[in-house]
């Protein structure tokens, strides 16, 4: 036998031994292992796309929560959404107070609300404060 034939036989023997080791260690043939790797790569690409979509959704939520005035950053987690929900709850409570005392209100002076009702005055102040905060983020 010539040296090229011996070298080829050694390479084949090494390849067969490696395939046997892969089969023994993983329970999969080299072909099955290659198929598994290909499938896992596809799954990873799908998960990466889902993550990009989720990040885009989060960015859009931050845009909505801040009125597109500047993003607080995703390191703040749900805080911008929580803050918006709290502001909305405060405004809703102020509106409930206002409606409850609507018959005591004199609206004849344009946008000025004149009343002796302290709860209505505090509701008005809460509305004005929340409105100002929405206009000036970070204030």
What confidence tens digit (pLDDT) does each residue in 119-135 have? Answer: 566 666 777 776 666 66
Length of the chain: 139
Domain-wise residue ranges, the chain:
1-77, 78-139
23-37, 73-87, 110-124: least confident range: 110-124
Q: How far is CA 74 from CA 5, 47, 58, 79, 134, in A?
A: 62, 19, 8, 9, 20
Predicted local distance difference test score (pLDDT) of residue 8: 84
- Which residues, at least 6 apart from 17, have a Cβ–Cβ distance to it below 8 Å? none
Q: In the beta sheet, which residues pair with residue 121?
A: none
Q: Is 0.75 topped by the overall pTM?
A: no
> What distance lies between CA 93 and its chain's CA centroid?
29
Task: Give percent of the chain with pLDDT exceeding 90.
Answer: 14
Supply the Cα-derived Rg of the chain in whole angstroms: 34
Predicted local distance difference test score (pLDDT) of residue 97: 79
For residue 113, is pLDDT > 60?
no
């Amino acid at each position: 036998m010539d040296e090229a034939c011996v070298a080829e036989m050694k390479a084949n023997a090494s390849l067969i031994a490696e395939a046997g080791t892969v089969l023994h260690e993983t329970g999969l043939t080299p072909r099955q292992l290659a198929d598994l790797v290909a499938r896992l790569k596809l799954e990873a690409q799908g998960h990466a796309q889902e993550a990009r979509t989720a990040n885009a959704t989060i960015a859009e939520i931050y845009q909505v929560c801040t009125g597109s005035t500047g993003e607080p950053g995703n390191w703040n987690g749900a805080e911008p959404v929580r803050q918006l929900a709290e502001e909305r709850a405060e405004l809703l409570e102020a509106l409930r107070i206002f409606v409850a005392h609507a018959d005591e209100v004199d609206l004849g002076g344009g946008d000025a609300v004149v009343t002796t009702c302290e709860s209505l005055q505090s509701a008005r102040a809460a509305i004005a404060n929340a409105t100002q905060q929405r206009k000036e983020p970070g204030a």
